[in-house]
């Protein structure tokens, strides 16, 4: 569930047409249309809005409600206990402390973004087998998460792919229980996450770089700019909004990691994340109240980060031409 869907950018897009557009030529005709069919748009919107309310707004409101009860998810009555669940989260280190595990994934995301920037820049220019390399780097993002988890379970097995590779290049001494050792488990899992998501950042950056007008590179080259200068003064400012966005998505994705640790280790050996723990609390330990409070905490943290991002990197259009 750490899929980096692109929240913040979608937000700016949905904001609808500007009033000015609506008063263009043909405005009078449109007014006539409007008078005649005032209920029509509602008919078209019944299904989407009903689904939106039932599967997004009702759960969000309920979640806040459950979070102040000791409900187990089954019994017909819900006992109100006020802020107790929140106090429990704040005081039991094993609950809030798992957020520490996110740091490994945040670390991996930094490497992921840097690598994606590098490969996107390199592959924006003339390179032999360009499409082949593009495909290879992007493809992991399309692979089923369970399949990826299985691939890397095998990869990290004792005597598996990684150990054999290390043996082959003479580093056999480094072999260890990659997923059995609490010291390496989160590095292994975060590495898997990097392998999986690099492609998405890469493709987003590639798209952004390609929208920079080609004559700017020519002008820069006439001015004697080398590739690094071009990257530093042209590409980076040109794609700044998408880089900022990727950072935010990386952070909120790192906080809500679920699939990889859940499938690969089941949360063993200190690889438990906030979400695997929430799922455990809600559906195995039947503490829906406590789990809801944890989910509320996570939601608020993510909203806070999104808000900070909107302040730090405003969604402005960069004008290079």
Partner 1 sequence: MSLTDFRSTEAPAARRARTNRTEIVGGRIAVTLKYLSLVLASVVVLLPLLVLLMASLKTNDEYVNGEPFDAPGNWFNLDNYVTAFTEGGMLRAFVNTSIILVVSLVGTVLIGSMAAYALDRFEFRLRKTIILLFLLATLVPGVTTQVATFQVVNNLGLFNTRWSAIALFLGTDIISIYIFQQFLRSIPRELDESAAIEGASSLTIYFRIILPLLKPAIATVVIIKGITIYNEFFIPFLYMPDRDLGVISTSLFRFKGPFGAQWEVISAGVILVIVPTLVVFLLLQRFIYNGFTSGATK
251 in Cβ contact with 305 (< 8 Å): yes
Shortest Cβ distance from residue 301 to partner 1 (Å)? Answer: 10
- Closer to partner 1 by CB, 51 or 308: give it: 51
Backbone angles phi, psi at 69, to 5 degrees: -125, 170
Adjacent-strand bridge partners of 69: 80
Report the C-alpha gap between 313 and 303 in whole angstroms: 15
- Closer to partner 1 by CB, 144 or 213: give it: 144
CA angle at 47 for the pair 42 and 49, rounded to the nearest 5°: 70
Largest CA distance in the chain: 80
- Closer to partner 1 by CB, 29 or 93: give it: 29
Shortest Cβ distance from residue 113 to partner 1 (Å)? Answer: 15
Shortest Cβ distance from residue 138 to partner 1 (Å)? Answer: 7
- Closer to partner 1 by CB, 12 or 83: give it: 12
Secondary structure class of 38 (helix, strand, coil): coil
- Closer to partner 1 by CB, 107 or 258: give it: 258
- Closer to partner 1 by CB, 173 or 223: give it: 223
Shortest Cβ distance from residue 84 to partner 1 (Å)? Answer: 17
Shortest Cβ distance from residue 143 to partner 1 (Å)? Answer: 6
Report the C-alpha gap between 66 and 287 in whole angstroms: 10
Backbone angles phi, psi at 315, to 5 degrees: -80, 45
With 0-12 / 13-18 / 19 or more C-beta atoms within 10 angstroms meaning exposed / middle / buried, residue 57 is exposed
Backbone angles phi, psi at 33, to 5 degrees: -60, -40
Shortest Cβ distance from residue 89 to partner 1 (Å)? Answer: 14
């Amino acid at each position: 569930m750490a899929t980096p869907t692109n929240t913040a950018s979608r937000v700016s897009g949905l904001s609808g047409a500007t009033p000015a557009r609506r008063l263009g030529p043909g405005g009078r005709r449109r007014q006539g249309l409007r008078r005649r069919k005032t209920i029509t748009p509602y008919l078209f919107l019944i299904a989407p809005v009903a689904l939106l309310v039932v599967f997004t707004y009702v759960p969000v409101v309920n979640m806040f409600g459950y979070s102040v009860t000791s409900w187990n998810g089954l019994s017909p009555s819900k006992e109100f206990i006020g802020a107790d669940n929140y106090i429990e989260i704040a005081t039991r280190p094993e609950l809030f402390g798992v957020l520490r595990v996110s740091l490994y994934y945040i670390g991996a995301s930094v490497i992921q973004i840097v690598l994606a920037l590098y490969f996107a820049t390199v592959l924006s220019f003339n390179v032999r087998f360009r499409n082949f390399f593009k495909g290879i780097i992007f493809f992991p993002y399309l692979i089923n998460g369970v399949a990826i988890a299985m691939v890397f379970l095998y990869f990290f097995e004792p005597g598996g792919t990684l150990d054999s590779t290390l043996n082959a290049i003479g580093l056999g001494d480094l072999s260890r229980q990659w997923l059995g050792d609490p010291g390496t488990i989160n590095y292994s899992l975060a590495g898997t996450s990097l392998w999986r998501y690099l492609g998405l950042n890469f493709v987003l950056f590639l798209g952004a770089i390609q929208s920079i007008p080609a004559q700017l590179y020519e002008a820069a080259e006439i001015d004697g700019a080398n590739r690094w200068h071009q990257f530093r003064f042209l590409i980076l400012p040109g794609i700044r909004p998408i880089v900022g966005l990727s950072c935010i998505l990386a952070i909120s994705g790192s906080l809500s990691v679920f699939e990889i640790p859940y499938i690969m280790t089941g949360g063993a050996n200190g690889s438990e994340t906030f979400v695997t723990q929430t799922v455990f609390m809600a559906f195995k330990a039947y503490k829906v109240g406590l789990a809801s409070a944890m989910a509320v905490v996570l939601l608020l943290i993510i909203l806070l980060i999104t808000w900070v991002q909107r302040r730090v990197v405003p969604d402005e259009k960069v004008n290079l031409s």
